[in-house]
Amino acid sequence: MALLPRLAGMRSRAQAFGFRYAIADGALRAVRRVEHRLEDVLLEAEGARGVLGPAHEQWRGNAASDNRRRWNEWDWSTHGEEWTESEAWKTGLVEDVLLPNIPAGGTVLEIGPGAGRWSAILAERCVRLGVVDVAQKPLETVAKRLAGADNVDYLLTEGASLLGVGDRKVDAVWSFDVFVHIAPADQAAYLSEIARVLRPGGVAAIHHADGRDRGAVPSRAGWRAPMTVELFAALARDRGLRVETVVRDWSGGRHGLGAYHDAITVLRRG
């Protein structure tokens, strides 16, 4: 079925630029499709073995600059709820995943708050909440939403660090709908920082992609960065973080992470 649109596109380009142009353009597109498929084979092999190899390290998308531009330009008027499947889905996620894993009290760090759909819940539960983002606009949006809260700090990062957060100062880290859009090498850098800022026994619950579960790396869908549960766990272990559990669904299996087959990995600092 995809052949007909391609032929129509070639015909249009031939009419506009000539036959040779259309043939060359079609060949270039075919080469890029093959390149993408081969790249996914390399990514899947590395991800299955839990190795941050050349394919992951050289991933060209999901850079900090891309995220900064994307989220500064995003329309946050719906408060990020456009990614909420239903009220029952969100309630179940909060009750079965967030609350059991992010303890009340203490200091909590949220990486990538969006418009604050989780920040509002976290701010009510902790003594101090730090929200970290690569883009200024989300931080401003959350600040307006939580204008009455005096226990929230806002930190703008260059994209893979938690500068401004002291060593062993944080009890828990929460991040949802964020690491799925961060390049693999930057995810590794963030895990190093999470290990640095967590107190001994501290916990982190991180939502990330799990491409291997699909039988293919979802690098072309949902603007996701390639990652697997195996690779994420290996990166965490290398930094002194222990995997406690991997969450894929909640509410007795009635709700989950949707078509992308993501995962939430819960980590504990030794």
Evaluate whether residue 78 is within a structural domain. yes
Evaluate whether residue 43 is within a structural domain. no
Could you tell me the pTM of the whole model?
A: 0.90
CATH number of the domain to which 74 belongs: 3.40.50.150
Evaluate whether residue 190 is within a structural domain. yes
Q: Which domain holds residue 64?
A: 50-269
Give residue-wise pLDDT tens across range 20-76: 999 999 999 999 989 988 998 899 899 999 999 999 999 988 999 999 999 999 999
Evaluate whether residue 20 is within a structural domain. no
In angstroms, the CA 126 to CA 99 distance is 11
Evaluate whether residue 32 is within a structural domain. no
Give residue-wise pLDDT tens across range 115-168: 999 999 999 999 999 999 999 999 999 999 999 899 999 999 998 999 999 999
Evaluate whether residue 247 is within a structural domain. yes
CB 107 within 8 A of CB 130: yes
Q: Pick the closest to residue 42 from 264, 228, 232, 241 (CA basis).
A: 228
Evaluate whether residue 38 is within a structural domain. no
Helix ranges, the chain (H): 3-17, 19-49, 54-57, 64-73, 87-93, 99-101, 119-125, 136-145, 184-197, 229-238
Evaluate whether residue 25 is within a structural domain. no
Look at the chain and report how many structural domains it folds into: 1
